Structure 1
Amino acid sequence: MKTKHQFTSLQKISILLIFFFSCGIFAQETYENSISFSKSDSNLKWSPCPDFMPEGCNIAVLQGNPTEKNTDIFFKVPANAYIPAHTHTSAERMVLIAGELEVTYEGEQPQTLKEGTYAYGPAGKPHSAKCGDSPCVLFIAFEEPIDAMPIEKE
């Protein structure tokens, strides 16, 4: 004997299907647009680097908001520029787009990045770099908001 509020399995499935279909009709899907940039793209907005970085250093935000997580940038320095020792709150995932860049992480041997080289920099680990005889452009993906803190020499 069924009571007033008991439903058969078929009725339960029917109610669920009606619910899911009605939600789908009213749900609006939103998608981000895809993007692509080259190092010389005229749509890039280049901004100066922090004051302790070399003169002529510039950054272009490719995707994201630098004050939030997961932002991608191009980092550009002139030929023969020295990037002083600094740290970041975030880990860095990098690919050298142009030039040749020698990077030295504290306690490690220098690594020379050539065009197309991938590199990973751990969060909080001090490092410095020297650009070679032509300008360097580095793609960097930051996991955390972007920052760069100089290492004070004692």
Structure 2
Amino acid sequence: MKNWEFLKSSLIAGALLLFITGVNAQESSESVVRTANDKELQWGPCPEFMPKGCQIAILNGNPARENSDILFKVPANSAIPNHNHTSAERIILLSGEMDITYEGEKTQTLKTGSYAYGPAKKPHIAKCGSAGECILFIAFEEPVDAFAIQK
């Protein structure tokens, strides 16, 4: 059963990459300035295991390659299930308040403007608080992916 869940998560992550690569793949040789409310952003769905209303927008780079920047948005009071990424992630919370717990570590609370670093392949969970939707800037070193972890 675990192999099926891993395969299913891999297929979902692959489909997400294909979607967001087709939606907004760019590797810019020019400067880029965006806000979370930019009308030019093209928001797409998150993998199925993420909470309802979750969306992703590519800011810069090709998510199927190294060094992509994304915006990740979830509604207030959303729980983000246990998952990991192939890549390390560098995060800045742009709005809302979020608790994040990396496996084996204590829960940390991110407030607007907080920075967080998540090591590659380290499982973690998160919860967007009641202060409003959470929007995160996330920089990935490797291709963008997310894999659900079933325990």
Using structure 2 for the length normalisation, give the TM-score: 0.80
How many Å separate the matches in 1 of 2:42 and 2:136? Answer: 15
SS at match of 2:143: coil
Structure 1 residue 57 corresponds to structure 2 residue 54? yes
- Greater relative CO (CA pairs within 8 A, separation 6+): 2
Q: Please give the per-residue CA displacement for 1:92-135, whole angstroms capped at 9, x wherever unaligned.
A: 00100000000000000000000000100000000000001110
1:146 alignment partner in structure 2: 144
Q: CA deviation at 1:32?
A: 1.3
Tell me which residue corresponds to 1:40: 37
Partner of 1:8: none
Quote the offset at 1:78 in angstroms.
0.3
Which ranges of structure 1 fall in alignment gaps of 5 or more residues?
Answer: 1-30
Q: How far apart, in 2, do the equivalents of 1:32 and 1:87 lie?
A: 30
In structure 2, the residue matched to 1:88 is 85
RMSD, aligned CA = 0.9
Residue segments in structure 2 that go unaligned for 5+ positions in a row: 1-27
Shift of 1:39: 0.8
- The partner residue of 2:102 within 76, 100, 105 is 105
Shift of 1:90: 0.1
Where does residue 135 of structure 1 map in the other structure?
Answer: 133
**Aligned pair partner of 2:116 in 105, 119, 122:** 119
The ranges of structure 1 where at least 4 consecutive aligned residues each deviate by more than 3 angstroms after the TM superposition are: none
In structure 1, distance between residues paired with 2:37 and 2:69: 16
Q: What is the CA–CA distance in structure 1 between the aligned matches of 2:55 and 2:31, rounded to whole Å?
A: 24
CA distance in 2, matches of 1:42, 1:36: 12
The 2-side partners of 1:70 and 1:32 are apart by 14
Aligned pair count?
123
Deviation at 1:33, TM superposition (A): 1.2
User: Per-residue deviation at 1:44?
Assistant: 0.4
Query: What percentage of residue pairs aligned between the two structures are identical?
Result: 61
Larger radius of gyration between Structure 1 and Structure 2: 1
TM norm structure 1: 0.79
Task: Letter of the 1:146 partner, please give it.
Answer: V
